[in-house]
Copies of this chain bind each other. A is one copy, B any other.
Amino acid sequence: MDTFMQAAIDEARQGLAEGGIPIGSVLVHEGRIIGRGHNRRVQCGSAILHGEMDALERAGRQNAQVYREATLYTTLSPCSMCSGAILLYGIGHVVVGENRTFMGEEQLLQSRGVRVEVLQDASCEQMMRDFIENHPALWNEDIGR
């Protein structure tokens, strides 16, 4: 397992342990994690802190060059909001744990020149399958359904 995807999975598992939605993300620049986060809808009553957004927020204010050189790892295919954030900051490379339980805006990202890599990692997929089965209403809320 890629060490950065493992860090994203660790974030997702931490979120689950907190009673939250198990999606995690890390932002990597020059081989170093500069921001790590997980979905905090439940924990913070948040409508915007998806895992990717939390990682971006915790990375703090960065200049455009850093974002362009960065890679965002996320356990799940990024939704419209998180994909929009990726486009805003011009993040050039996104590594996705899996897109079988939820397909985000990968096509839009690719059409704008973002390199999207999908690992189809079995542990990411199982984590989401279990969560969606056990908490369908919370999951639907998180993706605006």
B41 touches A47 (CB 8 A): no
A59 adjacent to chain B (CB < 8 Å): yes
B90, A144: Cβ atoms closer than 8 Å: yes
Copies of this chain present in the complex amount to 2
Assess whether A141 is interfacial by the CB under 8 Å rule.
yes
User: How long is the Cα–Cα vector from A113 to B62 in the complex, in angstroms?
Assistant: 33
CB within 8 Å of B: which A10-50 residues? 41, 45-48
17 further interface pairs, Cβ-Cβ under 8 Å (given A45-B60, A63-B141): A46-B61, A47-B60, A47-B89, A48-B48, A48-B53, A48-B85, A64-B140, A64-B145, A79-B84, A80-B84, A80-B88, A81-B88, A84-B84, A84-B105, A89-B144, A90-B144, A108-B108
